[in-house]
């Protein structure tokens, strides 16, 4: 196996480092999709590369070799992966699968709980639920239908126009299913820890996406004012695990973004990000080709050994 298998891991890790930087220079909606889909691609590519490294030692098991009709001794002689590397890769592969399964279960439970909570509420013909708490807080809870929970304290704090901003922001979270974008990145990071910077970046990007949606119906300065006041007044309070809130996600930088022009698509940054993903996938695919060739040699070795045994028996 050539070094191409390591290319998949390297470029997946590079996407984890460069992804947040590139996403901040893209239109938020494009950036959110890039981080979601890109994280899943990079995670799958990286895990596949690790799996290819681990497969060589797994394939040398005599029982598995017999079932697959390849020669374990031929595979052992042709294997270019050092034993410590293969064992480490096997451990990382198992850890990634296990951690991913645990995170998937946790996120599924959180989203199911959010849906169940929303269904338990009576249908008032609106998505707004006013809570009696005097502490300022507001958040969106996904479901069918999704709901926006706002405390009396938050309604008293914000002006009427700022309340429009807040509602537009939270409705954007529900309309675009931002919780699924965050879930995708969280699951990808569980699968590949090299993508650890991405969840925080995705949180910021989805908040920026909702900010820009609010700015389409309200003045950008008004959005900045609502963000600043809501974030400064918000107090930590129990929320559903799947909830999304306007007051989260690096508010200072989001307020500063409202003082500038709406972001453009950013073809150059998007091209760089896509190039990293393509190189990661190509490196992994090349590794798959090398692995297939390795097992083909082992299959030929098994066939040759079987032929020698038949010749020996015929000679007897």
Q: Is the pLDDT of residue 41 over 60?
A: yes
The pLDDT of residue 179: 95
The pLDDT of residue 123: 75
User: What ranges do the domains of the chain cover?
Assistant: 4-315
Q: How far apart are CA 83 and CA 47, in angstroms?
A: 18
Backbone angles phi, psi at 139, to 5 degrees: -160, 160
For 160-184, b/e burial (b = at least 16 CB within 10 A) is eebbbbbbbbbbbbbebebbebbbb
Confidence of residue 305 (pLDDT cuts 50, 70, 90): very low
pTM given for the model: 0.84
Instruction: Report pLDDT digits (tens) over 89-135.
Output: 888 889 999 999 999 999 999 999 999 998 888 777 788 999 988 88
Instruction: Report pLDDT digits (tens) over 232-279.
Output: 887 767 788 899 988 776 888 999 999 888 788 778 888 989 998 998
Q: Under 8 Å CB-to-CB from 6, ≥6 apart: which residues?
A: 49, 283
The pLDDT of residue 188: 96
The pLDDT of residue 306: 44
**Mean pLDDT score of the chain, rounded to an integer?**
83
Q: Is the pLDDT of residue 228 over 50?
A: yes
For residues 207 and 290, which has the higher predicted lDDT (pLDDT)?
A: 207
Q: How far apart are CA 132 and CA 138, in angstroms?
A: 12
């Amino acid at each position: 196996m050539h070094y191409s298998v390591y290319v998949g891991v390297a470029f997946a890790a590079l996407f984890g480092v460069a992804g947040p930087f590139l996403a901040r220079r893209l239109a938020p909606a494009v950036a959110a999709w890039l981080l979601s889909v890109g994280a899943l691609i990079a995670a799958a590519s990286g895990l596949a590369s690790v799996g290819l490294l681990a497969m060589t030692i797994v394939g040398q098991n005599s029982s598995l070799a017999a079932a697959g009709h390849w020669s374990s001794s031929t595979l052992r002689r042709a294997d270019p992966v050092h034993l410590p590397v293969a064992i480490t890769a096997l451990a990382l592969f198992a850890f990634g699968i296990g951690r991913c399964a645990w995170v998937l279960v946790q996120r599924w439970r959180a989203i199911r709980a959010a849906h169940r909570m929303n269904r338990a509420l009576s249908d008032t013909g609106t998505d707004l639920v006013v809570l009696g708490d005097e502490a300022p807080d507001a958040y969106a809870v996904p479901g069918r239908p999704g709901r926006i929970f706002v405390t009396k304290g938050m309604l008293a704090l914000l002006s009427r126009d700022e309340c429009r901003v807040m509602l537009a922001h939270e409705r954007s979270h529900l309309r675009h299913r931002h919780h699924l974008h965050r879930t995708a990145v969280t699951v990808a990071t569980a699968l590949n820890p090299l993508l650890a910077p991405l969840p925080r970046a995705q949180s910021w990007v989805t908040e920026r996406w909702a900010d820009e949606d609010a700015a389409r119906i309200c003045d950008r300065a008004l959005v900045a004012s609502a963000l600043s006041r809501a974030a400064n007044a918000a107090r930590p309070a129990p929320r559903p695990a799947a909830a999304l809130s306007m007051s989260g996600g690096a508010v200072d930088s989001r307020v500063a973004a409202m003082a500038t022009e709406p972001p453009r698509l950013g073809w150059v940054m998007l091209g760089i990000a896509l190039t990293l993903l393509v190189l990661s996938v190509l490196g992994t695919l090349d590794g798959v080709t090398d692995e297939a060739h390795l097992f083909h040699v082992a299959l030929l070795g098994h066939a040759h050994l079987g032929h020698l045994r038949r010749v020996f028996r015929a000679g007897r």
